[in-house]
Structure 1
């Protein structure tokens, strides 16, 4: 039997409001149902921008085989939970090249098993915190400054997080404030946005990319990007939580994350592609798995990383590839790894990950705004992490009390159908073999329906 979190009635009212807003489109449709952009005067810069979105995800899984479980296990009984977010992105042009952005958001709902039990967690719309009642927060508040360099200019259309106007192609862009690291780093055209493409955490980002983030995925920091012809070089410094997976209070950089990313853009038989190499290092009070195991051997208890934390560092790397093959078909792949000797600080317990997939637009069946995606990912733990979890340790997302180790294997397929100019409905299916790297549990199937509106 399915177990389901109670939905607050206020949520239903907010979602109805969202749909009403969505029905007031930024674009209209012609007689064939195709979207027609409302003409804009692109010769002048847009002083203000107000865009919004709302996303509702209902996800469930049936019961599965599980002879035992631990504090962080996926519930082996069937569950059915929903998440909802409603956000507005407001931008203001301050002076030449400068923009101020603010992003208030209302959230509600829970991830399955309170966002525990699978390293490659099945919903990127589920945060590490949940609530029955809708609550307000501020994910983003940042300043962006674009400094033009010599070369041609490009026209930008008004969009979520983008002001309409003209901007140099070659530029230096500085972003400072509160935002998500993956707003800028490790982006991918085909697998990066759980509101419109894949849902699984280890597909929308590099699985081993332990990026700085609060439990909602945001932090304070600064990033600089040098865009020149077919190359971009990025660098950033961001605040880590005071302790792993904790809420952030105040601004400090004693616990910090540094990263740099090199992006190469190219054409293959007239179709665009990108290749990115990202390197990061986290520095803060973090535990060594071996130290936790040694202490547990001395005391006769279960290993606990919170008892052996000391200031140290953990490096990692992500290789990210995307390539358009035809006008309606694209492929992507990611490979990532981190040190594996230290506990995960912010993201999820994945020390090695390889993912690949494709995205196909619906041109071939007469629905060009529809999209289907198919992908697979294999996640792995380091030897130190395996020993820690086998001894009964728990992490940010996983910990079954014991471990019969095997690599976690995930397949995902989704179909996104456009209902009108600003509303999409998606169906998603995921199959997870060896959830939380445990051969004794699963496999498990996840099903989801997603409704997404942009206005």
Structure 2
């Protein structure tokens, strides 16, 4: 069961106050997007479903409190970051979002701004540099944080644009790993968040333009800008010059995804989906493609 929660709301002032708690998915409450937020009917890649710069908690105990007025809302969310259902408050994922809706030239839009904090412990680049320079054993000690935006705007009937931006604060490698004896193992260390900035955006077109109003065409583009320390590590620059292993060139990571949602009838839709990634993990490479249905 992915979610199981209780919710209640109260009329307050010109809007309502809403409270939800239980087993939740906090991404249903923040970072929403009209055109890129549902892997079942829109983009499939996690790059476009939610902000890739955020270390989202996943289907665990949480609480959401939100005040919703006609044109704006403010949301605070807590979720257990490690999703373990033990020690629920040791590693919190916290997020606060301000959302504003618009009616630009008669077309609806939503503009969301949020900050987040992830309490699990990470490895800092400074500590990794000390390991290579002085053989000081590093430890996972620092939380992660950042901020992001999620915009969606209809620009004409049947045409919508979306944009997300995410920034990761602090100077974090990822998660340090250790071998069976407890010694730091750099080769097994998780470098999942080697980028500081993530940009995603795209367009949604209704099939009404070619006589199929229930269909949808989506095109998404993404770009990840790498942290300088991440580039230095793989290219064996500076303190990492003596690192064991092959020198690897780095480059900006790009993604493209195209889907077409074909509404066969009232109860069935088929979505062919094509993805291509250049320089996966920010390592210089022609990349790979994925086709799915």
TM-score class, shorter = 0.7 to 0.9
1:309 alignment partner in structure 2:
140
Q: How many Å separate the matches in 2 of 1:194 and 1:347?
A: 25
Whether 2:227 is the aligned partner of 1:386: answer no
1:144 alignment partner in structure 2:
7
Cα 1:348–1:264 shift into 2, 3 Å: farther
Q: RMSD value over aligned CA atoms?
A: 2.3
Q: Deviations over 1:24-68 (max 9, x none)?
A: xxxxxxxxxxxxxxxxxxxxxxxxxxxxxxxxxxxxxxxxxxxxx
Cα 1:352–1:401 shift into 2, 3 Å: farther
* 1:387 Cα deviation after fit: 3.5
Q: How many Å separate the matches in 2 of 1:378 and 1:210?
A: 17
Cα 1:293–1:187 shift into 2, 3 Å: same
- 1:289 counterpart (98, 121, 125): 125
Cα 1:318–1:231 shift into 2, 3 Å: same
Q: Is the 8 A contact 2:192 2:281 kept in 1?
A: no
Cα 1:200–1:347 shift into 2, 3 Å: farther
Gaps of 5+ in 2: 176-189, 237-244
Matches within 5 A, 1:94-133: none
State the SS of the aligned residue for 2:209: helix
Bigger relative contact order, structure 1 or 2, given CA contacts below 8 A and separation 6+? 1
Q: How many Å separate the matches in 2 of 1:401 and 1:438?
A: 12
Cα 1:412–1:205 shift into 2, 3 Å: same
Q: Is the 8 A contact 1:340 1:384 kept in 2?
A: no
Scaled by the length of structure 1, the TM-score of the pair is 0.56
State the SS of the aligned residue for 1:351: strand
1:336 alignment partner in structure 2:
166
Q: How many Å separate the matches in 2 of 1:371 and 1:429?
A: 14
- 1:442 counterpart (273, 277, 286): 286
2:110 alignment partner in structure 1:
274
Cα 1:332–1:142 shift into 2, 3 Å: same
Q: How many Å separate the matches in 1 of 2:77 and 2:234?
A: 32
Q: How many Å separate the matches in 1 of 2:80 and 2:286?
A: 36
Gaps of 5+ in 1: 1-137, 152-169, 242-246, 392-399, 450-455
* 1:344 Cα deviation after fit: 4.0
State the SS of the aligned residue for 2:21: strand
Scaled by the length of structure 2, the TM-score of the pair is 0.85
Q: How many Å separate the matches in 1 of 2:37 and 2:128?
A: 34
Cα 1:266–1:411 shift into 2, 3 Å: same
Matches within 5 A, 1:258-273: 258-273=94-109
Q: Deviations over 1:323-382 (max 9, x none)?
A: 012221111111111115124479952431111101011111111111000111101221
Whether 2:255 is the aligned partner of 1:410: answer yes
Matches within 5 A, 1:344-363: 344=174, 348-349=192-193, 350-363=195-208
